[in-house]
């Protein structure tokens, strides 16, 4: 079994057999990356957190580059969040809450992203 297949199998085991595809996984990682860069400084621990997420999704170098190339400080997450499947949003919230404290503090920008996701989940009804 390849590392990509192992990552996908682990993700299904940990978070259930959600309907996932590469585009949704990239959106998921882009939102986490936006949270990690929200304070304009990325620590080694934050970088490692994102790398573990990439590994979990079985991302190769091209996938990782696509995520990094798609994000910039201060971008809103609304469009990405709207395109993310509803069944992935609770998992996303869990990841964001963990990512927000990796550097030891939760900044205003990080908190705003988390609140955006909470509102999106609440709107699902």
pTM listed for this prediction = 0.83
Q: Which fold has domain 3-124?
A: TerB-like (1.10.3680)
Contacts of 91 (CB under 8 A, 6+ apart): 15, 18, 28
Q: In the prediction, which pLDDT does 124 show?
A: 87
State yes or no: pLDDT of 9 exceeds 70: no
pLDDT of residue 114: 97
Cβ-based neighbour number of residue 76 at 10 Å: 11
Domain ranges of the chain: 3-124
Rounded to whole angstroms, what are the CA distances from 98 to 4, 45, 63, 94, 115? 23, 12, 22, 6, 14
- Report whether pLDDT(43) > 60: yes
| Residues 110 and 35: beta-carbon distance below 8 Å | yes
Give pLDDT tens digits for 53-77.
Answer: 999 999 999 999 999 999 999 899 9
55 contact partners, CB below 8 Å, separation of at least 6 = 3, 7
């Amino acid at each position: 079994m390849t590392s990509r297949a192992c990552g996908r199998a682990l993700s299904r085991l940990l978070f259930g057999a959600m309907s996932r595809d590469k585009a949704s996984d990239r959106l998921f990682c882009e939102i986490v990356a936006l949270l990690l860069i929200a304070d304009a400084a990325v620590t080694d621990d934050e970088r490692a957190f994102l790398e573990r997420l990439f590994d979990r999704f079985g991302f190769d170098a091209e996938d990782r580059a696509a995520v990094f190339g798609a994000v910039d400080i201060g971008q809103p997450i609304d469009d990405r969040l709207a395109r993310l499947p509803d069944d992935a949003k609770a998992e996303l919230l869990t990841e964001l809450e963990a990512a927000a404290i990796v550097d030891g503090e939760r900044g205003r920008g990080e908190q705003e992203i988390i609140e955006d996701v909470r509102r999106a989940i609440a709107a699902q009804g």
